[in-house]
Amino acid sequence: MINKYKSIIEQKYNEYDEDARFDRMSQRFEYLTTMKYIQSYAKKGCKILEIGAATGRYSIALAKMGYNVTAVELVDKNLQILKEKSKGIENLISMQGDALDLSLLKDNQFDIVLNLGPMYHLFNQKDKDRAIAESVRVCKPNGVLMFAYLTHASIIWAYGVRKGNLSDMEYCLKKDGRIKDVPEEIFCSFYIEDFAKQFEKTDTTFLKNIATDGIAPMMRDYIDDKMSEEDYNMLLKWHFATCERIDQQGLSSHLLYICKKNG
Which is nearest to 3 in space by CA: 78, 99, 143?
99
Which helix (H) or strand (E) element contains residue 168? none
Give the pLDDT band of residue 1 (cuts 50, 70, 90). low
Q: What are phi and psi of 27, to 5 degrees?
A: -85, -15
- Residue 195 CA to residue 199 CA, distance in Å, equals 8
Per-residue CA distances from 232 to 26, 28, 228, 261 (Å)? 9, 11, 6, 36
Half-sphere exposure of 237 (CA within 13 A, CB side): 6
Three-state SS for 240?
A: helix
pTM above 0.75? yes
- In the predicted structure, residue 101 carries a pLDDT above the cut 70: yes
Which regions of 52-91 does DSSP assign to beta strands (E)?
A: 68-73
Give the pLDDT band of residue 129 (cuts 50, 70, 90). very high
Q: Under 8 Å CB-to-CB from 138, ≥6 apart: which residues? A: 49, 102, 105, 106, 107, 108, 109, 110, 113
Kindly list the structural domains of the chain, giving each domain's residue range(s) and its CATH number in brackets, ordered by start. 6-17+34-261 (3.40.50.150)
Q: What is the pLDDT of residues 212-245, one digit of tens each?
A: 999 999 899 999 999 999 999 999 999 999 999 9
At 110, the amino acid letter reads F
Chain mean pLDDT for the chain: 94
Give the pLDDT band of residue 71 (cuts 50, 70, 90). very high
H helix count then E strand count, the chain: 10, 7
Q: DSSP label at 252? A: -
Segment 66-77 mean pLDDT: 96
Q: How many CB atoms lie within 10 A of CB 172?
A: 14
Q: What is the pLDDT of residues 139-176, one digit of tens each?
A: 999 999 999 999 999 999 988 998 888 999 999 999 99
